[in-house]
Amino acid sequence: MNAQRTDRLERMTVPGFRQKKQQGKKLTVVTAYDYPGARLVDVAGMDAILVGDSLANVVQGRNTTLPVTVEQMIYHAQMVMRAVKHALVIVDMPFPTGQLGPSAALDAAARILKETEADAVKIEGGQSRMETIRTVVEAGIPVMGHCGFLPQHIRKMGSYKIQRDRQQIINDVLALEAAGAFAVVVELVAPELAAEVSQMVTIPTIGIGAGGGCDGQVLVFHDLLGFADTPPPKHVRQYASIFDTALTALENYKNDVEGGNF
Ligand code: KIV
């Protein structure tokens, strides 16, 4: 019955996604990495699913997103695509495919779109990625930008912390719009600054740890649903504790089987 919830909705498109900002409507984005996760996010009616390279952290148990490969992104995006009827699907370009220059980035983006049939890719970086993003967009591949904290630059940036270089963040968001990005993730930026840059551009800003002045928000599926047995990052409002719920269910199952009650 729940699965019918999104059956009435049309498939979200890149122009439709942009239009929601013009209509003053907030955009909802959640990550997903597999069929059941994407099914839940899609049936809940989210505007978009990000197949994030954060799968390194929450699925693979790694400390950084750096080891994720194009093949892994494609593998996860294919599972997501089989589940989705409504949401726009955006796939992260894994390190270092967005950093190797326009030609290599276009090759990787085209491969991702061809093999997954997703709608768009996301490339980390702002001003310094302008040429790359312009090349990929001109080839007909929609690009979501990503500025503020850049997880693929963790070695350079040191740790997950609020980014305070006001002029750089403004330059990055303006550059991403000029390069043709259809939206931009704004990660770990002070809410006042995120709200200010959101007013400066016509493309939607999708915040994470950037406050309600953005045009929408993206959260990591496992963080918002509480899959871990450790507290989520500070900026996350956790809406469930799946770890606790699943643990109780598994303990009940174990007791039942051990007691011959099956
Ligand atoms: O990989 C990811 O999930 C992301 C979000 C943190 C925006 O890039």
State how far the Cα of 181 lies from the Cα of 146, in Å rounded to an integer: 10
Ligand 1 center to 218 CA (angstroms): 8
d(CA 224, CA 233): 10
Burial of 223 (0-12, 13-18, 19+ CB in 10 A): buried
Residue nearest to atom 8 of ligand 1 (CA): 52
Give, using CA atoms, the residue closest to atom 3 of ligand 1. Answer: 52
Active-site residue, from 187, 192, 196, 251: 187
187 a catalytic residue: yes
Task: Give the number of other CB atoms < 10 A from CB of residue 42.
Answer: 23
Report how far apart, in Å, the C-alpha atoms of 242 and of each of 90, 144, 147, 230, 247 are. Answer: 25, 30, 30, 12, 8
Percent of the chain at pLDDT exceeding 70: 97
DSSP state, residue 229: S
Q: How big is the chain by its Cα radius of gyration, in Å?
A: 19
- Burial grade of 86 (CB within 10 A; 0-12, 13-18, 19 or more): buried
Return the H-helix or E-strand segment holding 88: strand 88-92
Rounded to an integer, the average pLDDT of 79-103 is 98
Which pLDDT band, with edges at 50, 70 and 90, does 9 fall under? confident
- Closest Cα to atom 1 of ligand 1: 52
What residues flank ligand 1, with Cβ below 6 Å? 31, 50, 52-54, 92, 185, 187, 208, 218, 220
Whole-number average pLDDT of the chain: 96
| Distance from Cα 67 to the centre of ligand 1, integer Å | 15
Q: Indicate which atom in ligand 1 lies nearest the CA of residue 92.
A: 1
Which numbered atom of ligand 1 lies nearest the CA of 218?
A: 7
C-alpha to C-alpha distance for 95 and 99, rounded to whole angstroms: 7
Structure pTM?
A: 0.97
Condensed to tens digits (0 to 9), the pLDDT of residues 232-259 reads 999 999 999 999 999 999 999 999 999 9
Taking the centre of ligand 1 as the mean of its atom positions, its distance from the CA of residue 219, in whole angstroms, is 8
Q: What is the pLDDT of residues 10-43, one digit of tens each?
A: 999 999 999 999 999 999 999 999 999 999 999 9
User: Per-residue pLDDT for 112 more than 90?
Assistant: yes
3 state SS of 63:
coil
Protein residue whose Cα sits closest to atom 5 of ligand 1 = 52
User: Cα separation of 157 and 160, whole Å?
Assistant: 8
Mean pLDDT of 195-210: 98
Q: Using the predicted structure, report yes or no on whether residue 121 has a pLDDT greater than 90.
A: yes
Distance 139 CA to ligand 1 centre (A): 24
Q: Is the pLDDT at 2 greater than 70, yes or no?
A: no
User: How does residue 3 score in pLDDT terms, banded at 50, 70 and 90?
Assistant: low
